[in-house]
A = this chain, B = another copy of it.
């Protein structure tokens, strides 16, 4: 048996999330720009709308966990229908997530939080929500891509 008596370590969960975020970035990249901002199925948002939700949650959510200071949830950014803007914000978030993560010790993961003044949970359940919600919306992007005849990156390929 291994020496690590934990389900998942602090470092592993960050790597797990950033691996998912790397895959989501590649899904954004593979979308044609026009479809990224306008293609929809069944009245759902275009994939760019879902990406803005993910951007609006990840860093602001972690920042609230670190600072305890409530902010308003913002899922709208002035992207000008430019994929490069989404990717730039995505990459900036990647760096900020690493920096914020280092300020959330394992001992804090079972503290109660009320994120964006609305969503009650523990630090742990909130962060798993961020990750699960990203997987959920990215998978919807996969269907959009398949519907457009574009092959998405492999789901399991998360370096």
Interface size class of A (residues with CB under 8 A): 35 or more
In A114-159, which residues have CB < 8 Å from any B CB?
A: 122, 124-125, 128-129, 132-133, 135-140, 142-149, 155-156
In the complex with contacts A41-B143, A135-B139, A136-B155, A109-B4 CB distance below 8 A: yes
- When distances are taken between beta carbons in the complex, the residues of chain B under 8 Å from A143 are 41-42, 44, 140, 143-144
8 tightest Cβ-Cβ pairs between the two chains A and B: A42-B146, A2-B110, A139-B139, A42-B147, A143-B143, A4-B110, A136-B139, A135-B135
Chain A interfacial positions (CB closer than 8 Å to B): 1-10, 12-13, 16, 20, 41-44, 106-111, 122, 124-125, 128-129, 132-133, 135-140, 142-149, 155-156
